[in-house]
Amino acid sequence: MIELHNISKSYTNKNNIETKVLSEINLKINKGDFISIMGTSGVGKSTLLNIIGLLDSPNSGYICIDGEKMDISRLSTDKYSKIRNRYIGFIFQDFKLIRDMNVLQNVEVPLAYAGYNKKLRKERVKEVLQQVGLVEKEDAYPDQLSGGQKQRVAIARAIANKPKILIGDEPTGNLDAETTEEILRLINSLNKLGVTIVLVTHDLNVAKNANRILELHSGRLAEYSID
């Protein structure tokens, strides 16, 4: 479904010193997969996730979605914003909800962008809020919600367009142990419904929820062995 071919990424600082973060990474993400990517701080996990999510472009290599090669030099164009909006749902450690929009309006954003009319938007928002167990909070503003509730709203927004893949960058990083479990249960239930998941985490207990754990180390991706 999503394939990474020989993806490399490096950053060059102002003294022209190059740091190689990703080195010829190959990865095949199949429909229904639940993949965790682990690695120490600064190893390049977010960089890799942003490339998978078409938010950032590699220096070399390419990505295919359903066999179509993405033209990474054009990631900022309208066509790619639409692809991102339709195919990819993102969740982050800091939720990234819009403060002056209530729950309903936050979840509506990707639907409006995808061109759903008002009636269809309302129906779909109700459906996804039901799925994440937050129907009664549709009028609340982000500041009035707990961390776990905010992440539920972010998940509802991320899945509203029925994306092919749900991508999470440390989505439980700001949550306590109990709320982390609650969010992982929700993510697991979405995966059982067929949503493909890729999570970045440095927490093995979180990573263990996946059916495949990978570790990023020295720019390379390898299967993580639990023992």
Name the residues that contact ligand ATP, by CB under 6 A.
Answer: 11, 21, 39, 41-47, 202
Nearest Cα residue to 150 out of 160, 136, 140: 140
Q: Sheet with 165-169: list strands edge to edge.
A: 88-92, 165-169, 196-200, 34-38, 212-217, 220-223
In degrees, to the nearest 5, what angle opens at C-alpha 161 toward C-alphas 123 and 122? 15
Report the nearest approach of ligand ATP to the CB of residue 202 (Å).
6
Given the complex with ligand ATP, which of 39 and 168 has the nearer CB atom?
39
Report the nearest approach of ligand ATP to the CB of residue 57 (Å).
12
Given the complex with ligand ATP, which of 125 and 200 has the nearer CB atom?
200
Report the nearest approach of ligand ATP to the CB of residue 152 (Å).
23
Given the complex with ligand ATP, which of 22 and 97 has the nearer CB atom?
22
Given the complex with ligand ATP, which of 43 and 52 has the nearer CB atom?
43
Report the nearest approach of ligand ATP to the CB of residue 170 (Å).
7
Query: 3-state SS string over 127-190?
Result: HHHHHCCCHHHCCCCHHHCCHHHHHHHHHHHHHCCCCCEEEEECCCCCCCHHHHHHHHHHHHHH
